[in-house]
Structure 1
Amino acid sequence: MAMNTTDVKAVRSRPMTSEEKKVILASSAGTIFEWYDFYLYGSLATIIGAQFFTAFPEATRNVFALLAFAAGFIVRPFGALVFGAMGDLIGRKYTFLATILIMGASTFLVGLLPSYNSWGVAAPIILIALRMAQGLALGGEYGGAAVYVAEHAPANQRGYFTAFIQTTATLGLLLSLVVILMVQGYVNGNWEPTAVLDAAGAAVMNADGTPKMIKAFDLWGWRIPFLGSLFLLLTSLYIRLQMHESPAFKKMKEEGSTSKAPLKEAFGQWKNAKIALIALFGLVAGQAVVWYSGQFYALFFIQNIVKVDSFSANVFVAWSLILGTGGFLFFGSLSDKIGRKPIILAGCLIGALTFQPVFQFLTATANPALHAAHQIKVSVTADPETCSFQFNPTGVAKFTSSCDITKALLAKSSVNYETIPAPAGTIAEVKIGDTVIPSYDAGTLSADEVKAAKATFEKAVNDALLAANYPLVADNNPTVAKAANFFDIFTAQKIKVVLTLTYLILLVTMVYGPIAAMLVELFPTRIRYSGLSLPYHIGNGWFGGLLPATAFAISAQSGNIYAGLWYAIVIAGATVVIGAILVPGGTHKKDIFADN
């Protein structure tokens, strides 16, 4: 016998049974494993970039590595459309099984994929294809998990119980970091580093004249966490097979009231499409940039900009996640009492106001020598027409002008500089303190001449930077924060780094903790999976996922390592204004079963 709306509402008003709690915990655990798979690449982006994008200069390679990471985010809205429709047509449970299979298989294959040196250009193409497969799977995962849990939870605790789903992204990142740290420590502790050789077989040298070495983990050990995901795939499949269909979907199925065309109904009718647009620009876009600034860009920033070694950076971020993750449940529960909207918009506003000083404090704390070096005046004098915006997602553009070559080299060393316009046709020059060094135009030289000019120019610039006390080599910088092991954080410097990162994580929990419940409450049951999935994944996949690459390119072009933060600041600020005006309040009191 089918349950009517009143019966369902009564069931949802009582406390959850132990069986229902097991269902929600099982859903959360499976989602943790799926995020683990997705974030392995993000945690290892720099190392993987060196394996698959070796044909490009280091500055460009970093952008490509981040764009390959972002490729998984770009396709997430398409996964939201495909799997969202499946979830509304055939149910939440079986859609979960499909997404975990695609995610697990793609992750495992990344671990097997040969590098650029073995397969040439096919290797990065296949890597990006696998990342896109991961993104498609994740596009169907989140909406289903949020809807599934919300439709099982008591009406007055939707924020609290859906916050468990919100923790899965952070816990998946934490799990990936812990696994990476364990494997990294073991592999590097048992295998010696290998000298890096150029195309001619000669040893590559550091700026200080020492041979450049690559650690065993960076060479091949990074594959182990990807291959180990096969175990998590089997575990996740078992968990998903034990789950039951949500009561709201079963009720609709029994009544024959499921949507026949959920995508058309969700986005082809203005009354529903309008809700999706408000959700995107008034909630999710700001939530996304705060989230990715606090977790992924923070990790990228301290590794690639502040020059903290990857092991130490992962340790500091892992501790911040441990300390801050409880905020998801706190703010989720608080949203059951005061509403979702004020908490989410407050997190966006605080982020917009504090990102600049917080990231500057992070540099000053984690690498005081770099922070002090930024007081030294550095300038690039060049013809503005020869200075490109060095953001190259296709790999077709060649940055060969003297201005681009100069800026790429300075960006690689985290140098802050100003650009001074020069007459047309002027060859760029860089001034470091009182030292002036002319650049070169690679487009007018032969291959051998480019090689010689590059060596001469880079040595002159590096010598001038070293004389100005720029810390070019992290291993030889005694002021940079460094952790010998996972528990080596109990010094004043390292505690301040961890607490600064924890502050950023707490902002993440403010905006992300209540968002699932808020989105569920905005859409009717019959199109809920499709309706909330698309704005969520456009916001997080495009606004959020592209943040690290965009911020890096902006900083490299502007000559200021903090300039890229304005991307997040502007979007978070816009969300505060749009959300305050257009997003409805009081949704935490809504009966989500009343409208099918």
Structure 2
Amino acid sequence: MASGSTATQREPSENEIKLVIGASSAGTIFEWYDFFIYGTLAYILKDAFYDVDNETLGLLLVWSTFAVGFAFRPIGAILFGFLGDRLGRKYTFLVTVTLMGIATAGVGLIPTVATIGIAAPIIVILLRVLQGLALGGEYGGAAIYVAEHAPPEKRGFYTSFIQASVAGGFVLSIAVVLACRFLIPEDDFQAWGWRVPFLLSIILLGISLWMRLKLSESPVFQAMKEAGETADNPFVESFTYPGNKKRIFVALFGVTGVLTTIWYTAFFSGMSFLRGPMHVDDLTVELILFVSGIIAMTFYVLIGKWSDRVGRKKPIIIGALATLVLLFPAFWTLGSLANPGIAQAAERTPITVAGPECSTDPFADLFDREQTDCGKVLEVLTAAGVPYELYGGTELQLAAGGEQIAIDPAWFEDGAARRDGIRAALGEYGFDFSKQQPGFANILGIVAVLLGLGMLSALTYGSVAALLSEMFPAKIRYSSMSIPYHIGAGYLGGFLPLIAGVIVASTGNIYSGLWYTWVVVAFGVVVAWWGLPSGPPADFEDSGEAPPASPVTP
């Protein structure tokens, strides 16, 4: 990649490039593993760190803490982007991976809320802040490092391994949890075994540091440094460089907003959907996601390589448009395959609720607000994945197929009693809330749907490291691409599980949270169509957007 430097840029050898790709990808896998293991174990952490009876609220609190890490990613992008553009790519992401490994191991050492009370979630939040700061600097460093070593005609292919590594971190988190499940009895895993995946990050940190210390600095940065052309203030120059504000806007909404909401919907929403309202056995869900994730990783590499021929814009536009068409049908199909019994029971015996003030307040318990009795009933039905029709009325009524269900006053004194009582009552009408084990054909269908979602993610994500590297000038590239990427990924994507969960809890429709993804992608595809360059890939200096480069001297 041209740098516009007045110094000669050394071309890396083939073996150097292989080491660069291998070490950067492995480090990225480990770092994203550290970040994702929290989400993978969310169903356990809600009981370990939060003392609430409300199952929905407990999960929302876990997703809130998950989102905290994402909220600090833009700050990490500014901080480490500055260091990466001033001091170098290599040493900056050595710092980020070290910070991430230490913070993740720390989560595994925190006593539970039963032991130290409210201090437990507070410490978790502080460690998630450190993880968010670290991740804000990691992706940009690894993506740029590989991009600046890659020949232009193979940049999409080489950087696609970084994109696949993000999915690889999620797959590794699933693999480690599966290994722990097979080695640790279930009761012990729930009690203390969940700490093992967090503590494992110390070993992964050692491996990552060992691999990355073998790397040399990016040739593009070396050339700029020798020529004295590094940025004085990369953050400021990211917003003052000619045309960069438009490029940052496009990168934020037309690229990152699209890819990150699709990614988290495919993987995290898919996982939560199967585990939660579909009641699929936890081990089965993890095996399904592991197999799907391993296969889907190859899609990112294929799309990255394809983008070297057709350009970066085409795959993103195709993936975004396909998502708008297929998102809801994909999850409807997922539901019908994972737990057809609930949908069939609801069709045979429609559930209706009537009463005054029939709306849910997901955070009522947290803020000491009084949830109405009707809201409490709706909350249980939503968490159980039961569709219902809502009607007005002067008194609370719950009916199945037109037949009134007796409401026990004890339901409104204890959350567990309410959940168990309503589920038992609906069980009399054919609703099965036990852990589900779909048949083999259904499991194959679920994997196929998840692979379809994985392909949508790959289309919008596989070429992005190359695209963002090409969009910005070399001397402020680390900052310029990291800032919009981590604002988009941090807020639009990182808050997706929480926002979608609140929408579902508020509406009572288990599919309504998908509207958040749909709206973000719809806006993003308009921005991408308008702002992304068409045609074959081009270096920033060759794209027609850059000021004339300084002459390169031998």
Q: Give 1:469's aligned residue.
A: 430
Cα–Cα, structure 1 residues 464 and 439, in superposed 2: closer, same or farther, change >3 Å? Answer: closer
Q: Give 1:500's aligned residue.
A: 449
**Which residue of 351, 357, 381 corresponds with 2:354?**
381
Cα–Cα, structure 1 residues 460 and 110, in superposed 2: closer, same or farther, change >3 Å? Answer: closer
Residues 413-443 of structure 1: CA distance to partner in whole angstroms, max 9, x if unpaired?
1111122234xxx4433222233347699xx
Q: Give 2:398's aligned residue.
A: 430
Q: Give 2:247's aligned residue.
A: 275
1:134 is displaced (CA, Å) by 0.6
**Which residue of 551, 555, 565 corresponds with 2:514?**
565
1:561 is displaced (CA, Å) by 0.9
User: How far, CA to CA, are the matches of 1:29 and 1:95 in structure 2?
Assistant: 16
1:38 is displaced (CA, Å) by 0.9
1:450 is displaced (CA, Å) by 5.1
Residues 401-424 of structure 1: CA distance to partner in whole angstroms, max 9, x if unpaired?
1232112111221111122234xx
The ranges of structure 1 where at least 4 consecutive aligned residues each deviate by more than 6 angstroms after the TM superposition are 438-441, 593-596
Contact 1:405 1:439 in 2 (8 A): no
Residues 503-535 of structure 1: CA distance to partner in whole angstroms, max 9, x if unpaired?
111111111101111111111111110001011
1:139 is displaced (CA, Å) by 0.6
Q: Give 1:481's aligned residue.
A: 438
- Give SS of 1:588's match: coil
User: How far, CA to CA, are the matches of 2:417 and 2:79 in structure 1?
Assistant: 54
Q: Give 2:59's aligned residue.
A: 62
1:33 is displaced (CA, Å) by 0.8
User: How far, CA to CA, are the matches of 1:4 and 1:457 in structure 2?
Assistant: 67
- Give SS of 1:305's match: coil
Contact 2:178 2:283 in 1 (8 A): yes
Q: Give 2:297's aligned residue.
A: 325
Please report the TM-score for the alignment, with normalisation by the length of structure 2.
0.92
**Which residue of 100, 104, 108 corresponds with 2:101?**
104
Q: Give 1:207's aligned residue.
A: none
User: How far, CA to CA, are the matches of 2:105 and 2:345 in structure 1?
Assistant: 43
User: How far, CA to CA, are the matches of 1:449 and 1:526 in structure 2?
Assistant: 63
User: How far, CA to CA, are the matches of 1:55 and 1:456 in structure 2?
Assistant: 14
Matches within 5 A, 1:307-456: 307-375=279-347, 376-384=349-357, 387-390=359-362, 395-422=366-393, 426-437=394-405, 451=413
Cα–Cα, structure 1 residues 27 and 299, in superposed 2: closer, same or farther, change >3 Å? Answer: same
Please report the TM-score for the alignment, with normalisation by the length of structure 1.
0.86
Letter of the aligned partner of 1:228 in structure 2?
Answer: L
Q: Structure 1 stretches of 5 or more lacking a match?
A: 194-214, 442-447, 483-490
User: How far, CA to CA, are the matches of 2:517 and 2:245 in structure 1?
Assistant: 25
User: How far, CA to CA, are the matches of 2:370 and 2:291 in structure 1?
Assistant: 39
User: How far, CA to CA, are the matches of 1:121 and 1:460 in structure 2?
Assistant: 30
1:449 is displaced (CA, Å) by 9.8
**Which residue of 284, 288, 306 corresponds with 2:256?**
284
How many percent identity over aligned positions? 38
Cα–Cα, structure 1 residues 459 and 329, in superposed 2: closer, same or farther, change >3 Å? Answer: closer
Letter of the aligned partner of 1:481 in structure 2?
Answer: P
Letter of the aligned partner of 1:73 in structure 2?
Answer: F
Letter of the aligned partner of 2:448 in structure 1?
Answer: L
1:282 is displaced (CA, Å) by 1.4
Contact 1:106 1:133 in 2 (8 A): yes
Q: Structure 2 stretches of 5 or more lacking a match?
A: 550-554
Cα–Cα, structure 1 residues 322 and 456, in superposed 2: closer, same or farther, change >3 Å? Answer: closer
Letter of the aligned partner of 1:124 in structure 2?
Answer: P
Residues 243-266 of structure 1: CA distance to partner in whole angstroms, max 9, x if unpaired?
111111111111111111111111
1:314 is displaced (CA, Å) by 0.7
User: How far, CA to CA, are the matches of 1:34 and 1:289 in structure 2?
Assistant: 20
User: How far, CA to CA, are the matches of 1:537 and 1:399 in structure 2?
Assistant: 37
1:68 is displaced (CA, Å) by 1.5
Letter of the aligned partner of 2:413 in structure 1?
Answer: K
Cα–Cα, structure 1 residues 587 and 16, in superposed 2: closer, same or farther, change >3 Å? Answer: farther
Contact 2:43 2:59 in 1 (8 A): yes
Residues 458-515 of structure 1: CA distance to partner in whole angstroms, max 9, x if unpaired?
55522331022111221xx5xx327xxxxxxxx3222112122111111111111011
Cα–Cα, structure 1 residues 520 and 389, in superposed 2: closer, same or farther, change >3 Å? Answer: farther
Contact 2:79 2:137 in 1 (8 A): yes
Cα–Cα, structure 1 residues 470 and 366, in superposed 2: closer, same or farther, change >3 Å? Answer: same
User: How far, CA to CA, are the matches of 2:447 and 2:458 in structure 1?
Assistant: 16
1:88 paired with 2:85, answer yes
Contact 1:159 1:517 in 2 (8 A): yes
Letter of the aligned partner of 1:377 in structure 2?
Answer: P
**Which residue of 519, 530, 541 corresponds with 2:479?**
530
1:244 paired with 2:180, answer no
Letter of the aligned partner of 1:107 in structure 2?
Answer: T
- Give SS of 2:184's match: helix
Contact 1:67 1:549 in 2 (8 A): yes
1:273 is displaced (CA, Å) by 2.0
- Give SS of 1:398's match: coil
User: How far, CA to CA, are the matches of 1:225 and 1:575 in structure 2?
Assistant: 35
Q: Give 1:541's aligned residue.
A: 490
Count of residues in correspondence between the two structures: 543
Cα–Cα, structure 1 residues 254 and 216, in superposed 2: closer, same or farther, change >3 Å? Answer: same
Q: Give 2:138's aligned residue.
A: 141
